[in-house]
Amino acid sequence: MDAMSSEQAVEQPEQRAEGTSNRVPERAEGESTGEAPRATSNRSTTPRSEAFAAYIGADWAERPHVAPLPREVAPYAAIRRARLSALHPGTRLIVPASPPRVRSNDTDYAYRAHSAFAHLTGWGADTVPGSVLVLEPVGDQHIATVHLREAAGRDSDEFYANPEIGEFWVGARPTLADTATELGLLTGSLRTFLDEGLESLDWSVPTLLVRDADPALTARIDVLRAPRESSGGEDLDPGNADADAPTDATLARDVSELRLVKDEYEIEQMRLAIAATKSGFDDVVHDFRDVVAHPRGERVVEGTFNRRARMDGNAVGYETIAASGPHACILHWTRNDGPVVPGDVILIDAGVEVESLYTADITRTVPVSGRFTEVQRRVYEAVREAADAAFAVVRPGIVFREVHAAAMQVIAAKTAEWGLLPVTAEQALEADQQQHRRYMVHGTSHHLGIDVHDCAAARRDMYLDGVVEAGMVFTIEPGLYFQPDDLTVPEEYRGIGVRIEDDVLVTADGAENLSAGIPRTADEVERWVQGL
């Protein structure tokens, strides 16, 4: 059976005698185990008697089983794995989904699989935590297997006594067979893989893994790998990844660069995320009366948008920025605890992440009262002009940094025209000057997809200095931020912050603004607020 066709097979879960336990041997803290290492035994009241175990383990109705269908994403994920396989012939590749992350004591953050795992498997919001994708080299190809914690019987103590993974606590898990059908992948028992399979692998085979996904698993693999194969965590800079043999940083780089050009499935997911985000922005504007009435109106904005994200998607793709008045000058303002005052503008930077984990990233700056002041409009339209100039240069064949350069031409010209610069616009644009950047210190664009800042480990000559290709999706987001205590600007400008951010798809002969349906011009934004 060749590597591609073998992905349709499935490892059958081991058969357990009725009434036996699912417990597995203890491991180092943080590793996957049948026990619950973070459960607090000092307050547990779970009955441990044989009588209770027998009673809770019996008399359960059979669950109806609906045979799953292959997911739409499965063939796309197979192509992604094949591309990665071709980059690393003869090398074992390990991509963990990641375990849950502790928020406080024995409570976890909402689970989200590692982006590389989700991209290569097609598993999104319903990923079983702790799963591991292994691409095992066979000849010049790889056999891909997802190891997941399979469903446990209700005759096991895991079912009721383990608050971390027991289905009485967190819900039922899919079977190995159903997961194999849906993802088009071989599947195996995570418990068997971690208890027996890991140590029994041939560790003379070069092995790379995504280091940051599962620290406990990484530590185990670092011990098992031959010293010449282990990066030991010392070479994590993708720029140095090719100095000698490939390292884990090489793999991190490659899984990032695989996402630079989106496939059809990914583009459709981006459209869905943007459509949901548009609804979220409409919700916020519709609720402006409540926003203004509350002493922490920024938090009302955040809550309103996040409600839409949960209704129409999985979650928000990043912490929503609801920055009103001078808070709009703080680039990553996420406290969102201030009032929203008529007469000010509010900068809202938000995106819905859909079930596939792809996210939008959109910013609009809105006059709270429904009408910009003269100075606010002047700043707003300057930022829009910069965004339009950047959009106008987007097409296949340009260098990515040209998008930023086009926006900076406008930002330098406007700030010079308003008398804010100590030099001319032309002088400011020289590499050793850059005075206009005082009012916009961030970049104009970043790649977007399954991460809000997608492809972050890609090499500079593939990213900032890379050639733009059809199928790329990135943001265009110039801004102007005049801090309330900035003495280089007239008082009427101080405390005004404006950013306009759109999500752009590169087409065969230009670009499509995927978020153009959300009002952009000053006139459109005013009508939007007044109409809702």
Side-chain-facing half-sphere of 210: CA atoms under 13 Å? 26
Is residue 356 within 8 Å of residue 376, measured between CB atoms?
no
- Tell me the pLDDT band of 63, cut-offs 50, 70 and 90: confident
- Give me the residues paired with residue 138 across strands: 141
pLDDT of 373 reads: 98
Q: Which residue has the tokens 């990213």?
A: 463
Separation of alpha carbons 464 and 281, rounded Å = 30
Cβ(225)–Cβ(207) below 8 Å:
yes
Query: Residue 325 pLDDT > 70, yes or no?
Result: yes
227 vs 104 pLDDT, higher one? 104
- What confidence tens digit (pLDDT) does each residue in 360-391 have? 999 999 999 999 999 999 999 999 999 999 99
| Residue that is written with structure tokens 């959109």 in the block | 362
- The percentage of the chain sitting over the pLDDT mark of 90, rounded to a whole number, equals 81
Residues 204-233: b if buried by 16+ CB within 10 A, e if exposed: eebbbbbbbbbebbbebbbeebeeebbbee
SS3 367: strand
**Percent of the chain surpassing pLDDT 70:** 89
Q: How confident is the model at residue 13 (pLDDT cuts 50, 70, 90)?
A: very low
CB 130 within 8 A of CB 150: no
- Give the pLDDT band (50/70/90) at residue 31: very low
Domains, the chain, ordered by start? 3-11+49-257 (3.40.350.10), 264-531 (3.90.230.10)
Give the pLDDT confidence score for residue 161 in this predicted structure.
87
8 Å CB contact between 436 and 425? yes
pLDDT score at 243: 52
* Mean predicted lDDT score pLDDT of the chain: 90
> Which token pair is 88?
């690393």
Strand ranges (E), 192-313? 207-209
Question: What is the per-residue burial (b if ≥16 Cβ within 10 Å, else e) of 428-456?
Answer: bbeeebebbebbbeeebbbbbbbbbebbe
d(CA 97, CA 74): 17
Residue 20: Cβ within 10 Å count: 10
3-state secondary structure 376-425: HHHHHHHHHHHHHHHHHHCCCCCECHHHHHHHHHHHHHHHHHCCCCCCCH
Q: Tell me: pLDDT of 516 over 70.
A: yes
**pLDDT attached to residue 283:** 98
> Could you give the CA distance from residue 113 to residue 408 in angstroms, rounded to a whole number?
37
3-state SS, residue 478: coil
Q: Is the pLDDT of residue 131 over 60?
A: yes
Q: Is the pLDDT of residue 486 over 80?
A: yes
Identify the pLDDT of residue 38. 62
> Which stretch of 36-50, 160-174, 267-281 has the lowest confidence by average pLDDT?
36-50
What pLDDT sits at residue 43? 78
Strand partners, 504: 474, 513
Angle between helices 264-286 and 297-312 (to 10 degrees): 140
What number of H helices and E strands is found in the chain? Answer: 18, 17
User: Strands 345-350 and 321-324: what pairing?
Assistant: antiparallel
Mean pLDDT of 171-199: 95
What is the per-residue pLDDT across 390-422, written as a single tens digit (0 to 9) for each?
Answer: 999 999 999 999 999 999 999 999 999 999 999
Euclidean distance between CA atoms 233 and 493, whole angstroms: 48
Can you tell me whether residue 217 is helix, strand or coil? Answer: helix
37 vs 282, residue with greater confidence: 282
The two three-digit tokens of residue 459, written as one number: 């090499």
102-104 and 107-108: which strand pairing? antiparallel
Per DSSP, the three-state class of 26 is: coil
Q: Which of 242-251, 342-351, 358-367 has the lowest mean pLDDT?
A: 242-251
Residue 19: which region, alpha, beta or left (left: phi > 0; alpha: psi -120 to 50)? left
Q: Are strands 345-350 and 315-316 parallel, antiparallel or unpaired?
A: unpaired
Residue 458 has pLDDT above 50, yes or no: yes
Question: Which CA distances in Å does 394 have to 268, 272, 384, 479, 503?
Answer: 20, 23, 16, 18, 12
Q: Would you state the pLDDT for residue 39?
A: 59
